[in-house]
Amino acid sequence: MKVHWTNTAVEHLLSIYEYISKDSPLYAQRMVDRLTRRSEQIATFLILSAKLLNT
């Protein structure tokens, strides 16, 4: 499942990146990567949960 990011969510993600990158661009990128991966994991979990409930 593809996660759809709203404009507001993207703006928040960019704000998080900009804030953290003041101290460490590396850790800022890691955090953004972690958040985007987690959103994909949640989407996958929801799909699997729905399939299990329908069986």
Tokens of 33: 């990567």
Q: Is residue 1 part of a domain?
A: no
CA 40 to each of CA 14, 20, 23, 25: distance values in angstroms, whole numbers, following the listed order = 18, 22, 27, 23
Count up the domains in the chain and report the number.
Answer: 1
Q: Is residue 2 part of a domain?
A: no
Q: Is residue 37 part of a domain?
A: yes
Domain that holds residue 31: 7-53
Location of structure tokens 């404009």: 7
Predicted TM-score (pTM) of this structure? 0.75
pLDDT of residue 54: 78
pLDDT in tens, 2-41: 789 999 999 999 999 999 999 999 999 999 999 999 999 8
